[in-house]
Amino acid sequence: MKSLNIAVVGYGLVGKKHCEIISQQNNTNLIGVVENNKDQTKNFSKSEVFTSIKEILTKKKIDGAIIASPSNLHIEHALEFIEKDIPLLIEKPISHSSAGVTELLKLAEKKSVPILVGHHRRYNQIIKSAKKIIDEDIIGKIRSIMSVCWFYKPDSYFNVAEWRKKSGAGPISINLIHDIDLMRYFCGEIENVNASIAKSIRGFENEDTASILIKFKSGVLGTMSVSDSIVSPWSWEMNSKENLDFPFTNQNCYLIGGSKGSLSIPDLKIWSNEKEPDWLSSLKNQNFKFEKNDPFVDQIQHFVKVINKEEQPIVSGGEAFKSLKAIEAIKQSGNLKKTINL
């Protein structure tokens, strides 16, 4: 099978990760990077650098493209490739707002161009195992789910890119979108949300902390907390060993409670009673066994199969749009101080 030519738009943190992985695979070739910030690519040598999508489309044959530019540019950049019938992997969130997403999805459908959205945690064997535990009724009927995403982003994170200080680039859009995607994956569609949001203590346009109550159509109740201004050991980044750039803390960031038992993630520890469920009965626990993987690599390999029309996107544009709508509802709820129905 021939090696596919993959272009990457945006050479920030995630763009660099994609370039590294594409360059390491036997069935993908990094055909070029689109980045107009020369400082970002001054030490880059894995492929040719272009300053515009138009330029790379003119000069290179592209089998698939990854949009890893700032989220407010996702739709603009994606449309240029869709017009040329080029399959896409768009980094999460699919866009910074829902405006224009419907038109993007309609055009992609009209031209039969597949869109995969980079909710990469779904490829992680930890998450796949958790879904298996839920689906096989090991912990019974899910009643409640909790997530915590607390960390402290240094000033250097914001200073390197001004867009990170703007509205739409706070932890609700950038970080909570992962948790929303996984909660929907575990518990189904959302009925309503109620959020409280705190403005950035750094004085930026975006928020830095939020707490959210979620009611799912299945009846499950969820609570979520996210902040990029809290020093803590509780976040997927620090708990999962998914990205070794982050220090590891042996903690959990998701708790799922069911009628037969409870599950903590990412350690995949299942808690249940020794006999029948009873608050006076002693508890036992066991760790669910799984094989570790690199979800970013598996996502790229899935993208290859999508391009070759061997598989449908695990997280399609339409699926990602639902998570974006939930994020917008959370922001609306926090601003209006009321419950928002989806």
pLDDT of 16 above 90 = yes
Average pLDDT over residues 122-131: 98
Q: Which CATH architecture has domain 122-292+325-341?
A: 2-Layer Sandwich (3.30)
Q: What fold does the segment set 4-113 form as a domain?
A: Rossmann fold (3.40.50)
As given in the structure block, the two tokens for residue 240 are 């999962």
Average pLDDT over residues 93-97: 93
3-state secondary structure of 131: helix
Query: What are the pLDDT digits (tens) for 315-341?
Result: 999 999 999 999 999 999 999 999 999
Q: Whole-model pTM above 0.95? A: no
Rounded Cα distance between 342 and 282, Å, is: 40
Q: What is the pLDDT of residue 214?
A: 98
Task: Determine what percent of the chain is predicted with pLDDT higher than 70.
Answer: 100
Task: Give span(s): CATH 3.40.50.720, the chain.
Answer: 4-113
Query: What are the pLDDT digits (tens) for 159-187?
Result: 888 888 888 788 998 899 999 999 999 99
Query: What are the pLDDT digits (tens) for 299-319?
Result: 999 999 999 999 999 999 999
Query: What are the pLDDT digits (tens) for 229-273?
Result: 999 999 999 999 998 889 999 999 999 999 999 999 999 999 999
Confidence of residue 93 (pLDDT cuts 50, 70, 90): very high
Segments in 25-92 forming alpha helices (H): 53-59, 74-82
Going by C-beta distance under 8 Å and a sequence separation of 6 or more, which residues neighbour residue 224? Answer: 146, 147, 148, 149, 176, 179, 180, 183, 210, 211, 212, 214
pLDDT of 193 above 90 = yes
Average pLDDT over residues 202-207: 89
Using only C-alpha atoms, the chain has a radius of gyration, in whole angstroms, of 21
Q: What is the pLDDT of residue 94?
A: 96
Sort residue 307 into left (φ over 0), alpha (ψ -120 to 50) or beta: alpha
Q: What is the pLDDT of residue 163?
A: 83
Calculate the average pLDDT of the chain: 95
Rounded Cα distance between 264 and 253, Å, is: 8
Average pLDDT over residues 184-207: 94
Residues in the chain: 342
Rounded Cα distance between 194 and 341, Å, is: 9
3-state secondary structure of 122: helix
Query: What are the pLDDT digits (tens) for 210-240?
Result: 999 999 999 999 999 999 999 999 999 999 9
Rounded Cα distance between 188 and 180, Å, is: 11
As given in the structure block, the two tokens for residue 300 are 């790229």
Q: For residue 178, count CB atoms less than 10 angstroms from its CB and return exposed for 0-12, middle for 13-18, buried for 19 or more.
A: buried
Task: Give span(s): CATH 3.30.360.10, the chain.
Answer: 122-292+325-341
Q: What is the pLDDT of residue 44?
A: 84
